[in-house]
Amino acid sequence: MYSYGGIKLILRKLGLKTTLCGYRYIVYGMMLLQKNPSYLDFITKTLYIDIAKKFQTSSVCVERAIRTAVSTIWKTNNLKLLYEISGNEFISRPTNKEFFGLFYRYLSKEEEEEVDAEKFLDDRDMDVYCDMTCDECGKTCEQLKKMYQEMIVLSVENRKLKEQLSRIMSYDAKIEKKEP
C-alpha cells in the first residue's frame, strides 16, 4: 500500500501547491482508489461524489478543483516527473480521469517493485545465512543477517534509481530535440 505521505510528496514534486483544494481532493481520491480501483471506471459518478461527501462540497466543485490542479501541474513546466509517471509524452494536458489512472498505475508499479524486493527477501532460505555464523558461539549472527538483508534492499533500490535515471535522460534527449 502506498502511503498518504508518499502521494502528497509526489504531488508536491509535480509542482502542486498544498493550498489548492484540488491537492486535497487528489490525495483523498488516490486513497479511495487504493481501496477500490473500480472508482476509475466511473470517476464522475463515484469518485467525485465520495470526495465531495468527505469535504462537504459538490461533485462539480471537486471536478473543477481537480481539473485546476492537473492544469497547474501541466503549467509548472516540471513535466519530467509527469512524463515518468505516464511513461510517454503528452501533447496536451491530461484529463482528470487520465491523471488519476496514470497516477494510480505509477503508484501501483512502485508498490509492486517494493513487494518484489520483500518477496525476494522472504524467498531467501535461512541456508543463505549459514556462512554468517559467529566464530565465538557458532550461531547465526543477527547483525550480519540484517546487514545482508539491507544490502539486498539497497541493490533493488539502486536498480530502480538507475532505471529512473535512464528514463529521465531519454526524456531530456527528446525535449532537447524538440527545442529550436
Residue 135: the pLDDT is 57
Which of 80, 45, 38, 75 is closest to 60 using CA atoms?
45
Residue 47: the pLDDT is 94
Residue 69: the pLDDT is 93
* CA 49 – CA 169 distance, rounded (Å): 40
pLDDT tens track, the chain, 180 positions: 567 788 888 888 888 888 998 999 999 999 999 889 999 998 999 999 999 999 999 999 999 999 999 998 888 766 677 777 777 766 778 899 988 988 888 888 765 555 444 454 444 443 444 445 555 666 666 666 677 677 777 777 777 777 777 777 777 676 666 665
Which of 134, 34, 111, 106 is closest to 98 using CA atoms?
106
Cell of 67: 481539473
Q: In a 10 Å sphere around its CB, with 0-12 CB exposed, 13-18 middle and 19+ buried, how is residue 59 labelled?
A: middle
Q: List, as one string, the DSSP characters of 52-99.
A: HHHHTS-HHHHHHHHHHHHHHHHHTT-HHHHHHHHSS--SSPPPHHHH
DSSP state of 140: B
Residue 128: the pLDDT is 44
